[in-house]
A and B are shown apart, each in its own frame.
Chain A
Amino acid sequence: MSGFFKSSIGRKFTMALSAFFLMFFLLQHFAINFLSVLNPDAFNEVSHFMGTNPLIQYVLQPVLLFGVVYHFVMGFILEIKNRSSRVVKYAKNNGSANSTWMSRNMIYSGLFILIFLVIHFIDFWIPELNTKYVQGDMSGLLADGEGYRYYEELQHKFLPPWRIALYCLGFIFLALHLLHGFNSAFQSVGANNKYTKGLKGFGKAYAILVPLGFIVIALFHHFNH
C-alpha cells in the first residue's frame, strides 16, 4: 500500500478522506453553534461536554488537527506538482468555457480559509486551551461562579463588527470551496455513477446552507446582544 499513498490517485484519495472528515466536523460544529440560538442552556451544556470529555479532547481533537493540517499541506503539495506539469503557460486560456470559477480556484479559496482558521484559532481555540490547560480551570464556570461561561463568551466575541465581517467573508470562501469540494471528494474516492447522481444536489445544498447557517448565527448574536 505504500505505493498507493505516493501515487497521484492515492494522494487525491487521502485528500478526499480528510475532506469527508472535515465536512462531518463542520456539520457537528454547526449543530452546536445552532443550539446557541435555540437554547443557551443546552449550548452551555454541550460546549462543556465537548470541552472536557477526554475522548473528544485527547483523541478526536488531535485527529481533527491532523485532518486540518493534512488537508492543507497535501493541497499545497498537489498544487505545486500540478503547476509544474505545465511549464509554458497558454497565451490565451478560456477556462470559464468549460469549468466553474470555484473548481479552478480551490487553492485560493483554501488559502483564505486557512487565514480565517488561523484567526479563528487565535480568537477561540487558543484562549480556550489557555483557560483549561495553562490556568487549569476545567470548571467552565463564569468568574463569579454563576453558571457556564460559554454562551456569554460567544456573545462577547460576536460584538465587534470587524470580526463579524471577517467571519462572514471566511464562510463565503468556505461555501465557494465546498461548492466544488463536496462532490469532488466523492469523485476522488470513485463514487460517480448512476447511484450517486442525487449527491450533486445535496452537495450544493450543503455547500450553501451550512456556511450560510454559520453567518446567520453570528449575525443573530451580533444584533441580539
Chain B
Amino acid sequence: MNLTLKIWRQKNAQSKGKMVDYKVTEISEHMSFLEMMDVLNEQLVNSGEEPIAFDHDCREGICGMCSMYINGEAHGPDRGITTCQLHMRMFKDGDTITIEPFRAKAFPVIKDLVVDRTSFERIQQAGGYISVNTSGNTQDANAIPISKHAADEAMDAATCIGCGACVATCKNSSAMLFVGAKISQYALLPQGQVEAVDRVNNMVAQMDLEGFGNCTNIGACEVECPKGISLENIARMNREFLKANVKG
C-alpha cells in the first residue's frame, strides 16, 4: 500500500517542532507499524535526510518504549497493543496517517517522536517498592498466604509497563492510571502493607509535583492501555490515599 505520513519533526528539546509530510510506497499489510517507520527511515537515510527518531526496544509489546500518537490515539487505532504490535493491515491504501509524540507537560519531547518519561521513574522511586531484608534471612514470598483473588488483581495491576499511553490519551494528561496500578500491586499484597501510608502519600505528591493533570474519570486511559489496566486501580489509589490521610 502507498501512504502519506504526517510526522512531527523536532530537532531537540529546545527547538520548535512542526508536522512534515512524507510518502511511503509498497508497504506490506503484514508489516508492523515500526517496520513501516524503518522503511521510511531507510528512504530518508538513502536520500541524505535526517531519519526520524523514535523509541523502540523489545518490539514484542513488553518494553513500552514506542510512544507514538497515531491518528489521534495512543499506539494507534487498535486495542490492547503497543505501537510495535500495530499492523499495517489496520490501514488502507492511500491513507494519510498522522504521527505525533505522546504530549504532556511532564513528558517533554527530546527529539521528533522521542519523549522523556523519567517523571514516571521519579514517581516509582518515591514509593513504588517494598523494603525486604536481603541479609540471608529473607522470607520466602510463597510462604505468605495470599488469596487467589488478591494475587490475580495484584498481578493485573503489575502488568502495567509504564508506557505512558494513559497520560498521552487523557485529555488532562493525568498519570493516575499508572500511579494507581503501581500502588495497587502492593496494596493488594501483605508485603505492601508495612509501607502503605508512605507509599501512597509520596507517590501522589511526586505525581502532583511532576505537573500531571487531574483524573476526571473519562476512562480513555483504560480503553487505550495496552495492558488493559482497569480504572478500579485509580479508585483503589483514591481509597488508599484517603485511608493514609485519615490515619495521619
Interface on A for B, CB 8 Å cutoff?
A: 1, 3-4, 7-13, 78, 81-95, 97-100, 103-104, 106, 180, 183-184, 187-193
Quick check: is B77 within 8 A (CB to CB) of the other chain? yes
Chain A residues within an 8 Å CB radius of B2 = none
Q: Could you tell me the distance in whole angstroms from the C-beta of B98 to the nearest C-beta in chain A?
A: 4
Q: Are A103 and B218 interface neighbours, CB within 8 A?
A: yes
Quick check: is B130 within 8 A (CB to CB) of the other chain? no
Q: Are A187 and B235 interface neighbours, CB within 8 A?
A: yes
Q: Are A7 and B205 interface neighbours, CB within 8 A?
A: yes
Quick check: is B204 within 8 A (CB to CB) of the other chain? yes
Chain A residues within an 8 Å CB radius of B109 = 88
Q: Are A12 and B214 interface neighbours, CB within 8 A?
A: yes
Known: A7-B208, A85-B106. A98 touches B173 (CB 8 A): no
CB<8 Å pairs between A and B, sample of 10: A1-B246, A4-B245, A13-B238, A91-B98, A92-B98, A97-B73, A99-B223, A188-B238, A189-B238, A189-B242
Q: Could you tell me the distance in whole angstroms from the C-beta of B121 to the nearest C-beta in chain A?
A: 19
Known: A91-B98, A92-B98. A84 touches B216 (CB 8 A): no
Chain A residues within an 8 Å CB radius of B100 = 90-92
Q: Are A187 and B172 interface neighbours, CB within 8 A?
A: no
Quick check: is B23 within 8 A (CB to CB) of the other chain? no
Chain A residues within an 8 Å CB radius of B126 = none
Chain A residues within an 8 Å CB radius of B72 = 90, 92-95, 97
Q: Could you tell me the distance in whole angstroms from the C-beta of A52 to the nearest C-beta in chain B?
A: 39
Chain A residues within an 8 Å CB radius of B11 = none
Interface on B for A, CB 8 Å cutoff?
A: 6, 8, 17, 19, 69, 71-73, 77, 98, 100, 103-106, 109, 169, 171-174, 176, 201, 204-205, 207-208, 211-220, 223-224, 231-232, 234-239, 241-242, 245-246
Q: Complex: how many Å from CA A222 to CA B31? A: 64
In the complex, besides A8-B215, A91-B8, A190-B239, 20 extra interface pairs with C-beta distance below 8 angstroms are A1-B246, A8-B213, A78-B216, A81-B213, A85-B104, A85-B174, A85-B213, A89-B103, A91-B98, A97-B223, A98-B223, A98-B224, A99-B218, A99-B219, A103-B216, A187-B217, A187-B238, A188-B215, A188-B238, A192-B234
Kindly name the residue among A103, A184, A189, A192 whose own CB sees the greatest number of chain B CB atoms within 10 A.
A192
Q: Are A81 and B73 interface neighbours, CB within 8 A?
A: no
Q: Are B6 and A91 interface neighbours, CB within 8 A?
A: yes
Q: Could you tell me the distance in whole angstroms from the C-beta of A111 to the nearest C-beta in chain B?
A: 15
Q: Are A187 and B231 interface neighbours, CB within 8 A?
A: yes
Known: A7-B204, A94-B71. A190 touches B216 (CB 8 A): no
